Structure 1
Amino acid sequence: MADDIDPEGFVSGPHRVDTPHPDLAEALADLWGRVTVAGGPIGFTPTSTVDELRAVATDLVEEVRARRIQLITIGQQHVLVGMAVLRPDPLPARRHTGELGWLAVDPQLQGKGWGGRLHDAVLVAAQAVGLEKLSAQARSGHDLEGFYTARDWVERGRWPGAVRVAEGDERDDIWFTRDV
């Protein structure tokens, strides 16, 4: 699939996925694999198997079907090239809050503003469902701090060494919040 991506080509979206396509879990796993191989902080390690990625993607698609989360995507020529998740908090005392998660853009399209567009689409979706506050987590070592703080997120804390990318390669887990 990576061969089908044109870094200068037309990208459609962001779009909210209301009815998951039958191949969505496979497309998510493929995107996550491309991001992981390029060193991206999507939650997997270089030794994660395709089956592990596919299992997590299948679970995510089921959450979309059950309407527990909103999935926002961008695509190019029937290839998933970016995604983000909005997860509203289901607890009664926290129904005004949610989480931005799984923000990922294909390595060939990074640096072209697509991460920012996905981010902004999640904010619009959060407003539409009445959320007032969001949280997000990021891994240190990729200047994601700059990405989030440039978009009005406030760093609230770090958990040193909480993310183990590989033996001897541990990163901080960084927690951010922002008002919607």
Structure 2
Amino acid sequence: MALRYELDPPVDRRLVDGIRALWVEVTNAGGAVGFVPPVTADDVRPELVKHLVAMSEGRARLLVARDEEGEPVGTAFLSFNTHRLMRHWVWLYTVMLHPARQGRGEGRALMAAVEDAVRGMDGIRGIRLTCRGGVGLERFYGSCGYKEVGRVPDAIKVADDDFRDDITMWLQLR
């Protein structure tokens, strides 16, 4: 069954607990979402709180993908630019899909839902994201229409002897 997407869902305990559990699952499966494994719910909690505060202050929005039981199995957070010359594009970050749901086209469907949601936002002309090199994310985002527009070599330190590129991707909407 297809996932159900919801922009700006009501924030309740089920959503918060679901996203926190999802973040742990994705990270511990090797996902590049701000941490390196292993992590616990306590590790991701402070970052999730930052995301939720930004939402409550109107600085960010959430697109959540829900499964058949209504549990969060995917996320995409959108952050508005505050610089007066860059308010025409948004940042996309903390894009996650539960590992058990990967490899079935649901990641591309999530990215298409993001694009649809952003196209509905007044005055927004592009989506910008960054991703960690070395895990193939730039190929995935490229297959969703994003173009690599920048790369900072070795900008991300995932271990004492493991540095990854910070890759900037862009999707032009208009």
TM-score by shorter chain over 0.5:
yes
Q: Determine if the alignment matches structure 1 residue 66 to structure 2 residue 57.
A: yes
* Residues in 2 aligned to 1:159 and 1:49: alpha-carbon distance in whole angstroms: 29
The correspondence for 2:72, drawn from 77, 80, 86, is 80
The correspondence for 2:151, drawn from 158, 161, 174, is 158
How far is 1:49 from its partner?
4.3
The correspondence for 1:134, drawn from 127, 131, 141, is 127
- Work out whether residues 35 and 107 of structure 1, in 8 Å CA contact, stay in contact via their aligned partners in 2: yes
TM-score of the superposition, structure 2-length normalised? Answer: 0.89
- Work out whether residues 15 and 73 of structure 1, in 8 Å CA contact, stay in contact via their aligned partners in 2: yes
Identity, in percent, stands at 29
Aligned to 2:9: 18
Aligned length, in residue pairs = 171
| Structure 1: stretches of 5+ with no match in the other structure | 1-9
How far is 1:57 from its partner?
0.8
4+ long deviations beyond 6 Å: none
Aligned to 1:144: 137
Q: Which moved more, 1:105-114 or 1:55-64?
A: 55-64
- Work out whether residues 54 and 60 of structure 2, in 8 Å CA contact, stay in contact via their aligned partners in 1: yes
* Residues in 1 aligned to 2:129 and 2:111: alpha-carbon distance in whole angstroms: 11
| 1:118-177 CA-partner distances (Å, limit 9, x unpaired) | 211111221111210221101112211111112221111211122222222221110111
RMSD: 1.7
* Residues in 1 aligned to 2:25 and 2:80: alpha-carbon distance in whole angstroms: 27
| 1:28-53 CA-partner distances (Å, limit 9, x unpaired) | 22111101111111111114443230
Query: After the TM superposition, which residues 48-127 of structure 1 pair with which residues of structure 2 at under 5 Å, given as runs?
Result: 48-76=39-67, 77-127=69-119
SS in 2 for 1:92: coil
